[in-house]
Amino acid sequence: MYTKIISQKLESLKESGQYREFVTINRIRGQYPLAQSVTQKSTEQVVVWCSNDYLGMSQHHIVTEAMHDAIRSLGAGSGGSRNIGGTHSYYTALESALAEWHGKEAALVFPTGYGANDATLQCLLRLLSDCIVFSDERNHASIINGIRSTQAERMVFRHNDVEHLEALLVAQPFDRPKIIVFESVYSMDGDIAPIQKIVALAKKYNALTFLDEVHAIGIYGPRGAGIAAELGIANKLDFIQGTMAKSIGVIGGYIAASSLLVDVIRSFAPGFIFTTSLPPAVVAACHASVEYLKSSDNERIVLHQKTNTLRDALIRAHIPIMASSRTHILPVLIGDAKKCKDAAKRLLEQHHIYLQPINSPTVPIGTERFRVNVTPNHTKEQIEKLAFALTEVFHYFGISFSHEQDFLNA
């Protein structure tokens, strides 16, 4: 009986074009964004266009040398949770660096960004009696899961709609505990939240603010500290959440806040207390990358320059970039799950370009897309080749170009 139920679920996923398959991509050390695509039939060199390693820091010699040095000093594993013996001096350095980066009193590192969101939100919503949470409708799955894992009342406001948010807030008693959870850069649309307006509403209606900056840190703001820092309002946010798995180029998540708020999460969050900590080599690499990005603007400058070059190349080719994009993330609308998956396969096999199809439930049905982002390491030739390849694939599968159908506001 169980086999039949499960098989039917998987078959339904395959028929809808939403079934996910792994593609083996072995990145070539020191040559990113080049990688080896490995199949049963062959091994081909490909160009990666959808990695979250936005600045290529995973390949930087400062980061890899810090990792090697830590392994030579402390070995491979951490030995357990932070409370049982899995903490070490690299953690102290990293958390101090993260707190200083965001202008906060303290920071707390988790094994992943998903875990940082999930564990922190669950903890807060269970500690604050009768708390109500207000969540942007396009928040990440880690945020949604953290909220849904509690019995707290939740209100979902329309994406980046401060008028809708205020209508929900005004209906609640002023003294009722409230948390507003949102992101700065939304990774599937490439847009930016109205952070200043949301912060103003939080102050007006007595709410805590929890801002996910994972797709912004390292790239925006002074020293890469994020959108809130760019706007000069990081000090007005109660929690800033980030990751070391994207621009920082390694792995791990964190929160930065007041010493009191960080201590309560450290002391009460099961998702922090009972999980094995990151290995010393990973923490050391994260610290080296953060400190480097605080002092070097070059990677950010080149990224933004090449993003503009890529955007211009796609526009000239009439490739439909969704109008929401205001950042380094360029969502290219396909609008059909099967075509999106087939187009990705053709790009890989015929053009040696790796782009992952983004289908439901990650994005709404009918807005299936490629999430394209350049890095400082991509060349002008590679950018032009991507535009050519997308043009060929759009023609091959009958996907609408921007001048044929108005997909841009999807």
How far from the centroid of its chain's Cα atoms is residue 323's Cα? 20
Helices (H) and strands (E) in the chain, counts: 14, 16
**Helix orientation angle between 259-268 and 113-127, rounded to the nearest 10 degrees:** 90
Q: Please state, as a whole number, how many other Cβ atoms lie within 10 Å of the Cβ of residue 61.
A: 9
Q: Which residues contact residue 35 at a Cβ distance below 8 angstroms, ignoring those fewer than 6 apart?
A: 25, 26, 27, 28, 45, 46, 47, 48, 354
Cα(188)–Cα(198) distance, rounded to whole angstroms?
21
Decide if 246 is catalytic. Answer: yes
- The two structure tokens encoding residue 210: 């929890």
**Residue for token pair 């080296």:** 288
Q: Please state, as a whole number, how many other Cβ atoms lie within 10 Å of the Cβ of residue 52.
A: 17
Q: Please state, as a whole number, how many other Cβ atoms lie within 10 Å of the Cβ of residue 24.
A: 11
**Residue for token pair 């010699």:** 61
Q: Report the Cα–Cα distance between both ends of the chain, in Å, rounded.
A: 41
Question: Are the CB atoms for 280 and 73 separated by under 8 Å?
Answer: yes
Can you list the positions of beta strands (E) in 282-380? Answer: 330-333, 353-354, 357-358, 369-372
Q: Which residues contact residue 53 at a Cβ distance below 8 angstroms, ignoring those fewer than 6 apart?
A: 32, 59, 246, 247, 249, 375
From the list 178, 203, 236, 246, the catalytic residue is 246
Can you list the positions of beta strands (E) in 131-201? Answer: 132-136, 153-157, 178-183, 185-186, 191-192
Cα(150)–Cα(158) distance, rounded to whole angstroms?
22
Active site residues: 246
